[in-house]
C-alpha cells in the first residue's frame, strides 16, 4: 500500500508564473542602469544565465563566464549584494503593477488542493520578498497563509540544483518525500527536488522546454484548465486534460 498524498510543494519562478524574462531580467537591467553599469541582459543572454540559480550568483557567473572578470565595476564583490537589493526593489515594484499573472491552472489547483486538505509549501531560490509580492498581487494577501512553509532564498547554504531547499521544506513540514508531489519548471529544479527524493511534475516554459526532465512523473506545457487542455510532453496523464487532485492522486499511486 502506497503512502497517502499529503502535500504539494511548488517552485515559484517559471512554475507559478513566468517571472524570468519579463520580471527578473527587466529588474536586473533596471538595477544596472540605476548604478550606471553598462550591462544589459537581452532575452537570449538571460537564457544562458539561467544555468545558475540565484540573482547574486547569476551576476557573478556573468562576470566570470562572459566578461572573464575583466573591467568589472569597482569593488564588484561588495557591490553585488547592493545591486541585488536594488534589483529586488525593481522586481517587487514591477509585480505590484500586476504585470505578471499566474500560469494557467495554478490558482485553480491551489484552491482545489485547499478544499481537499492537501498541505501546501513553496521551495524556491528566489528572495522571500519576491514570493510575497507575487502571491499578494496575484492571489491576495491571505494567500500567504495558504502555504505552511515558504522556503526561499539564502535560508539554506546551497541553492538549486542542490536538494537543500527541498530537504528544508520536508523537515519543516515533518513529512517524508513519498508523501509529497513537487511542481517545477527547470532542469536545476528537478535535480533539486529529485535529489530530495521527491516525485516531480514539470510545466515547461520558453526557457526550459528543451531541458532534460528524465525521471519526471509527468512533463506538461501547462497545468491546463477545463477549457484550455494541457499538452503532455512526457509521461501519461490517464486521459485527463487538466491537472487536478484526482490526477495527482492517480499519479502518486502508480
Ligand atoms: C529561480 C532563480 C531566481 C531568480 C532570481 O530559480 O534562479 O534566482 O532568477 O531571484 P528556481 P533572486 O525557479 O529554480 O527556484 O534574484 O531573488 O535570487
Ligand atoms: Mg523555476
The DSSP secondary structure of the chain, one letter per residue, reads -PPPP-EEEE--BTTTB--IIIIIHHHHHHHHHHTT------HHHHHHHTTS-SHHHHHHHHHHHTSTT-SPPTTHHHHHHHHHHHHHHHHHHHHHTT-SPBPTTHHHHHHHHHHTT-EEEEEESS-HHHHHHHHHHHH-GGGGGG-SEEEEGGGSSS-TTSSHHHHHHHHHHT--GGGEEEEE-SHHHHHHHHHTT-EEEEE--TTTTTS--TT-SEEES---BTTB---EEES--TT-SS--HHHHHHHHH-
Is the distance from the beta carbon of residue 193 to the nearest atom of ligand 1 less than 6 Å? no
CA atoms within 13 A on the CB side of 234: 16
pLDDT at 178: 98
Q: Provide the greatest CA pair distance for the chain.
A: 61
Contact between 90 and 30 under an 8 Å Cβ cutoff? The reply is yes
Distance CA 184, CA 201 (A): 6
Block residue for cell numbers 484548465: 225
| Segment 57-108, tens digit of pLDDT | 999 999 999 999 999 998 999 999 999 999 999 999 999 999 999 999 999 9
Question: Measured in angstroms, how far is the CA atom of residue 93 from the centroid of ligand 2?
Answer: 20
Contact between 23 and 43 under an 8 Å Cβ cutoff? The reply is no
Q: Ligand 2 (ion): which residues have CB within 5 A? A: 11, 13-14, 185-186, 189
Ligand 1 pocket test: pick from 10, 11, 13 the residue with the most ligand atoms within 8 Å of its Cβ.
13
Rounded to a whole number, what is the distance in angstroms from the first to the last CA of the chain?
11
Contact between 73 and 37 under an 8 Å Cβ cutoff? The reply is yes
pLDDT at 254: 83
Question: Measured in angstroms, how far is the CA atom of residue 59 from the centroid of ligand 1?
Answer: 12
Is the distance from the beta carbon of residue 105 to the nearest atom of ligand 1 less than 6 Å? no
Low-confidence residues in the chain, pLDDT < 70: 1
Distance CA 195, CA 251 (A): 19
pLDDT at 154: 92
Active site residues per annotation: 11, 13
pTM of the predicted model as reported, rounded to 2 decimal places:
0.97
Distance CA 25, CA 41 (A): 7
The DSSP secondary structure of 135-166, one letter per residue, reads HHHHH-GGGGGG-SEEEEGGGSSS-TTSSHHH
Ligand 1 pocket test: pick from 43, 53, 61, 196 the residue with the most ligand atoms within 8 Å of its Cβ.
53
Distance CA 152, CA 126 (A): 6
Burial class (CB in 10 A: 0-12, 13-18, 19+), 169: buried
Distance CA 115, CA 103 (A): 20
Amino acid at each position: 500500500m502506497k503512502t497517502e498524498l499529503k502535500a504539494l510543494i511548488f517552485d515559484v519562478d517559471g512554475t507559478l508564473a513566468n517571472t524570468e524574462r519579463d520580471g527578473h531580467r527587466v529588474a536586473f537591467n533596471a538595477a544596472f542602469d540605476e548604478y550606471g553599469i553598462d550591462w544589459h541582459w537581452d532575452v537570449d543572454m538571460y537564457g544562458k544565465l539561467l544555468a545558475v540559480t540565484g540573482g547574486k550568483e547569476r551576476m557573478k557567473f556573468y562576470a566570470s563566464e562572459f566578461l572573464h572578470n575583466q573591467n568589472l565595476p569597482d569593488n564588484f564583490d561588495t557591490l553585488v549584494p547592493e545591486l541585488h537589493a536594488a534589483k529586488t526593489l525593481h522586481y517587487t515594484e514591477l509585480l505590484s503593477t500586476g504585470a505578471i499573472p499566474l500560469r494557467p491552472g495554478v490558482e485553480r489547483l491551489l484552491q482545489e488542493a485547499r478544499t481537499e486538505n492537501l498541505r501546501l509549501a513553496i521551495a524556491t531560490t528566489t528572495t522571500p520578498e519576491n514570493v510575497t509580492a507575487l502571491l499578494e498581487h496575484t492571489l491576495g494577501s491571505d494567500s500567504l497563509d495558504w502555504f505552511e512553509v515558504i522556503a526561499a532564498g539564502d535560508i539554506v547554504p546551497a541553492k538549486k540544483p542542490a536538494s537543500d531547499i527541498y530537504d528544508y521544506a520536508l523537515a519543516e513540514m515533518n513529512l517524508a518525500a513519498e508523501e509529497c508531489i513537487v511542481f517545477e519548471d527547470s532542469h536545476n529544479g528537478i535535480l533539486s527536488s529529485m535529489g530530495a527524493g521527491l516525485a516531480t511534475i514539470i510545466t515547461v516554459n520558453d526557457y526550459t522546454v528543451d531541458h532534460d526532465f528524465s525521471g519526471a512523473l509527468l512533463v506538461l506545457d501547462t497545468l491546463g484548465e477545463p477549457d484550455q487542455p494541457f499538452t503532455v510532453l512526457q509521461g501519461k496523464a490517464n486521459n485527463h486534460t487538466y491537472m487536478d487532485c484526482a490526477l495527482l492522486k492517480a499519479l502518486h499511486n502508480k
